[in-house]
Amino acid sequence: MMDMVADKLVQKYQQSSCEQLWQERAEIQGKPKSEREQQAVQPMHDDPQMRSAFITRVAAPIANKMFECGMIP
């Protein structure tokens, strides 16, 4: 499950344009997570090793895309 979520998230960032990411960022600010999102994330809140593996897997691709898009300095 964690691998599937990580792969989907990395793929989303790699395939999205900067404009799409900025638009989505503006739309989701302040909105609560869906029940499905909460269910997918809950095991990572409960298991520090799973959370660490997930972050290790997604951090570099997402950070690189955010840097390219000017979302982080």
Which sequence spans correspond to the domains of the chain?
Answer: 2-68
Q: Are 12 and 58 in contact (CB under 8 A)?
A: no
The pLDDT value given to residue 69? 96
Q: In whole angstroms, what is the distance from residue 36 CA to residue 63 CA?
A: 24
pLDDT along the chain (73 residues), means of 10: 90 96 88 87 93 96 96 91
pTM confidence score? 0.81
What's the token pair of residue 11?
């793929």
